[in-house]
Amino acid sequence: MTAGPKFVGVIAWATLAFASSVLLATNSQSPRIHEISIEKMKFASAPANLKVGDTIRWINRDAVPHTASARDRSFDVNIPGNSVREMKILAKGRHEFFCRYHPTMKGVLSVTP
């Protein structure tokens, strides 16, 4: 009868170890979603550690449409007023972007492989 709790303890430990290894794998490899909001005619600054395969979720809180358009043409997304649009990051590197409708709006995505 004393083996019971010990056995359960081992399983719990094993489960925990398994879970944490999954968590680590998730952190280092699985694509993630990053939000960049647009408000009062400004792009919020882009998050660091963006990786190819991650998703950018553009959240436009303005009433007017904006675009997020890369100068190197690697992406060009239309974001209607008060809407959300997602895009997958396909290319590594430093991508300067701007809004085609409002050229005073600018930002940069820095993407590692």
Residue ranges that bind another protein, judged by CB under 8 A: 40-41, 62-65, 81, 100-105
Which structure tokens are listed for 103?
């050229």
Among another protein, Cu ion, none, what binds residue 65 when CB lies within 5 to 8 Å by partner kind?
Answer: another protein
Q: Concatenate the DSSP letters of all residues of 65-77 into one string.
A: -EEEEETTSS-EE
The reply on whether position 102 binds Cu ion by CB under 5 A is yes
Residues 6-45 that bind Cu ion (CB under 5 A): none
The reply on whether position 68 binds Cu ion by CB under 5 A is no
Q: Concatenate the DSSP letters of all residues of 45-100 into one string.
A: PPPSSEETT-EEEEEE-SSS-EEEEETTSS-EEEE-TTEEEEEE----EEEEEE-S
In whole angstroms, how close is the CB of 107 to another protein at the nearest point?
14
Among Cu ion, another protein, none, what binds residue 66 when CB lies within 5 to 8 Å by partner kind?
Answer: Cu ion
The reply on whether position 101 binds Cu ion by CB under 5 A is yes
